[in-house]
Amino acid sequence: MQTDQKAEYESGSEKQSYDFIVVANRLPVDRVEGDDGELSWRRSPGGLVTAIAPVMQESDGAWVGWHGATDEELEPFENDRIHLIPVPLDEEDLELYYEGFSNSTLWPLYHDVIVPPEFHRTWWDNYKKVNKRFADATARIAAQGATVWVQDYQLQLVPKLLREARPDLRIGFFNHIPFPSPGIFSQLPWRKQILEGLAGADVVGFQRTADASNFLRCMRRYTDRTVKGSLAIPPASPEASGSSPNICRAEAHPISIDTQQVAELAHDPEIIARAKQIRQELGNPKTILLGVDRLDYTKGIRHRLKAYGELLADGDITVGEACLVQVASPSRENVERYQQLKDQVELMVGNLNGEHDTMEHTAIRYLHHSYPMREMIALYLAADIMLVTSLRDGMNLVAKEFVAAHTDDTGMLVLSEFTGAADQLTQSVLVNPHDIDGMKSGIMRALLMDPQDSARRMRRMRRHLRDHDVARWSQTFLSSLALPLPVDTLV
């Protein structure tokens, strides 16, 4: 970095510098309006915030991200003992960087091309611009030798940009979604730039070992780096790679949930009473099946509805004896693919209910809403079988929350083998969501499973979640990031 650039960062507008910084597309807060009309901020729900907030509070850290409103610039502020550094986005950024390149190029590409990705140079140009904005905001506030943890696919160029501006930093990156195989990744016109952007990190974390392996295979095929074990090593000459030669390490660090918090909520008398009320409102069926998803084409909601509809048509389950509750929270409603999916799902639900409903009972209770955590725990407790049928999923924390909530060893999880959670929750009923007959068999297996068998399985899965909670995830990643490289790495 040139001297004038260093001076810019050392004398930036933010006077305070931080030893630990998280960089994510969104800040960990939502703006809320009180009864008196006054605006304030509250912590956002979600596993990432739960995992990292305690670390940030202990280290007096900062979080860099967008605050959620366009065409508005805010000064840095503090909430719940976390320093927040807003990065502004305008309407064009939202359209091109977020809805465009992030969610209509990268998201479908990284999820095995379930729908075709779109490749537009204007989207890519804006993605580069916004990533530079995030990197600049971070470089200005980072203390000498600070640890920076960049989050997710929207910011894959930030590690290299930070490395070039601030080679003193320790940089980690975590990819919360799958990473595609080289054959799929090869479609991306800017594949080398993305890989070099990620390689600016000291450690790149993934949900599954297979994702880390895909990343290293792509590094070997599409960059000049040499792959040695888990390391991506740059060419010996700095000039050959065009940037400072840092060694990037790829590792699997599967994210988890706050298991203790979920278990405590599951023992709350009000939540337990609400779970009983939900069953009563559904007509006290013998079996409640539950799906909880963002309304996203990766979640396999249509496949799930098809399998359930065929079970009804075959007479394997009957309305009144069983009911499916499908929560589909709104997602990316400005993107055409998601609008189409919403129409398709609602048409399927309407057709199935029209064909199978009775005057007293409904086949599917479809809820196009988002719910607070307490209501979600009540739904988990009310349900007998959880259906997670993602066609491709980085992890799926809903599956883990359902298991953690059933502290009485009841219930059973039907889980897609294409979720990251399938690597840990091996005692669930694993299914291939593309195989409708296989999924039907899996649902019936869960429904008819001996209670002793299901209790044993749920205990084993819950034990794993107690030992591998979200706090351990963040601690393990940051501990790995702090490790020095082996002395023989470059030999």
Tokens of 119: 């490749």
Side-chain-facing half-sphere of 390: CA atoms under 13 Å:
26
In this structure, the answer to whether residues 203 and 278 fall within a common structural domain is no
CA distance 231 to 247: 7
Decide which of 253, 272, 288 is a domain's last residue.
253
Nearest to 172 by CA among 487, 490, 486, 476: 476
Tokens of 475: 């601690």
**Does 135 fall in a domain?**
yes
Nearest to 145 by CA among 166, 161, 162, 165: 166
Q: Which residues pair with 31 in a beta bridge?
A: 41
In this structure, the answer to whether residues 224 and 141 fall within a common structural domain is yes
> Helices 436-448 and 301-314, interaxial angle, to 10°?
70
In this structure, the answer to whether residues 119 and 244 fall within a common structural domain is yes
In this structure, the answer to whether residues 274 and 128 fall within a common structural domain is no
Nearest to 384 by CA among 301, 311, 443: 443
How many other CB atoms sit within 10 Å of the CB of residue 134? 24
**Does 479 fall in a domain?**
no
In terms of residue numbers, what domain contains 290? 259-467
pLDDT tens, position by position, 110-153 = 999 999 999 999 999 999 999 999 999 999 999 999 999 999 99
In this structure, the answer to whether residues 159 and 279 fall within a common structural domain is no
pLDDT tens, position by position, 442-489 = 999 999 999 999 999 999 999 999 999 999 999 999 999 999 876 455
In this structure, the answer to whether residues 108 and 186 fall within a common structural domain is yes
CA distance 171 to 145: 10
| CATH code of the domain covering residue 319 | 3.40.50.2000
Q: Which residues pair with 393 in a beta bridge?
A: 419
Decide which of 204, 236, 253 is a domain's last residue.
253
DSSP string, 166-196: -TTSEEEEE--S----HHHHTT-TTHHHHHH
Decide which of 231, 253, 275 is a domain's last residue.
253
- Residue 268 catalytic? no
At 489 the pLDDT is 53
The mean pLDDT value of the chain amounts to 92
**Does 147 fall in a domain?**
yes
CA distance 416 to 410: 20
In this structure, the answer to whether residues 462 and 383 fall within a common structural domain is yes
In this structure, the answer to whether residues 369 and 317 fall within a common structural domain is yes
**Does 265 fall in a domain?**
yes
At 57 the pLDDT is 77
Give me the amino acid identity at 197. Answer: G
Side-chain-facing half-sphere of 65: CA atoms under 13 Å:
25
Q: Along the chain (491 residues), what's the average pLDDT of each consecutive run of 10 residues?
A: 43 69 94 79 77 79 94 92 95 97 97 96 98 98 97 98 97 98 98 98 98 98 96 76 73 95 97 98 96 96 98 97 96 85 96 95 95 95 98 96 97 98 98 98 98 98 96 94 71 46
**Does 242 fall in a domain?**
yes
**Does 241 fall in a domain?**
yes
3-class DSSP assignment, residue 263: helix
In this structure, the answer to whether residues 16 and 145 fall within a common structural domain is yes
Q: Is 100 exposed, middle or buried (0-12, 13-18, 19+ CB in 10 A)?
A: buried
Number of domains making up the chain: 2
322-329 vs 429-431, strand pairing mode: unpaired
- Residue 467 catalytic? no
CB 27 within 8 A of CB 63: yes
Annotated active-site residue in 393, 406, 464, 468: 393
Q: Is 300 left (phi over 0), alpha (psi -120 to 50) or beta?
A: left
In this structure, the answer to whether residues 73 and 160 fall within a common structural domain is yes
Annotated active-site residue in 120, 176, 361, 368: 176
**Does 305 fall in a domain?**
yes
In this structure, the answer to whether residues 391 and 291 fall within a common structural domain is yes
In this structure, the answer to whether residues 249 and 292 fall within a common structural domain is no
* CA atoms 204, 153, 262, 398: torsion sign: negative
**Does 360 fall in a domain?**
yes
